[in-house]
Amino acid sequence: MSDQAAPTQLAEQGRWSETWGAFAKNKAAVVGLVILVVLIVVALLAPWIAPHDPVAQNLDLRRQGPSGDAWFGRDEFGRDILSRVMVGARATLLAAVGSVLLSGIIGTIIGVVAGYRGGFADSLLMRSMDLVLSFPYFLLAILVVAVAGPSLRNAAIAIGITYIPQYARVVRGATLEVMGKEYVEAAHASGVRGPRIAWKHVLPNISAPIIVITTVGLALAIVGISSLSFLGLGAQPPSPEWGAMLAGGRQYVASAAHISIFPGLAILVTVLCLNLVGDGLRDTFDPTLR
């Protein structure tokens, strides 16, 4: 390691340590992060650790309540709900991540270009985002799925499209703020232009709001994808997915409430934890809130 690289690495480690220390002061955010890590591990290992085949039917055990063999009970086809919730976590979380990646990449590019270029480009891009925002977000998602066809992938794409304007507006505002900083003006003065300034000087310094909005966006994506699946526009039977499981159990709420309760709790806990982590990250990256 060179003499110049060592101080840089130590400074980077110090920044990460300071950031984690500020985040750790928010106990609710730390609890939310721990639960999220557990959920992610379960989702990744679900095919191997699920106690039963999530699509195997046993009609003799239809709507059976929680027991030692099936901790969450069985659904309307006698399938193990615990196994379906575990495997469904994999499907729901992957779809939400894909949705946020789509909206995040496109929205960030639009926001950076609008904030950096300004003028006509800024007006054109932001008015385009206003046009998308003029449609009710969930109605627009339903329209996209109706055109593309019902599937979990198309549901994720639809939700991703509807969330692009939020990313673009947040990133544009952060870019405009960064463009007035001394280091950007110095880069301009030294002859650096275009994409290089955006890549080296703008993006690294607007990462904080992007991280925060991504966390919140994941929570919204889970709710949106589950809602589309609940309406029959997302995951199709017999694929386990939290929203589709809720839809399957809605007609048995009075006689076998556990069919809907456990996938509903999975959505509730995941979204709550993401919001707690998002609040913690917001407080961490905004010095005025510490």
Q: Residues 146, 151, 155, CA angle at the centre, nearest 5°?
A: 70
> What's residue 267's pLDDT?
95
Residue 14 has pLDDT above 80, yes or no: no
What's the CATH number where 236 sits? 1.10.3720.10
Which residue in the block uniquely carries the two structure tokens 């029959």?
Answer: 232
**In the numeric block, which tokens belong to residue 61?**
């055990």
Distance of CA 26 to the CA centre of its chain: 21
Residue 7 has pLDDT above 80, yes or no: no
State the total domains in the chain: 1
In tens, the pLDDT along 220-250 reads 999 999 999 999 898 888 888 999 999 888 8
Residue 93: how many other CB atoms lie within 10 Å:
22
Q: Whole domain around residue 211: which residue ranges? A: 5-289
Q: In angstroms, rounded to a whole number, what is the distance separating the alpha carbons of residues 54 and 18?
A: 44
Q: In angstroms, rounded to a whole number, what is the distance separating the alpha carbons of residues 41 and 47?
A: 11
In tens, the pLDDT along 25-60 reads 889 999 999 999 999 999 999 989 999 999 989 888
74: helix, strand or coil? strand
Band of residue 82 on the pLDDT scale cut at 50, 70, 90: very high
**Cα torsion angle, 107, 113, 119, 125, sign:** negative
Average pLDDT over the chain, rounded to an integer:
85
Quote the DSSP letter at residue 52.
Answer: S
Band of residue 1 on the pLDDT scale cut at 50, 70, 90: very low
> What's residue 137's pLDDT?
82
Name 90's Cβ contacts closer than 8 Å, sequence gap at least 6. 43, 44, 46, 47
Distance of CA 257 to the CA centre of its chain: 28
180: helix, strand or coil? coil
Q: In angstroms, rounded to a whole number, what is the distance separating the alpha carbons of residues 77 and 131?
A: 44
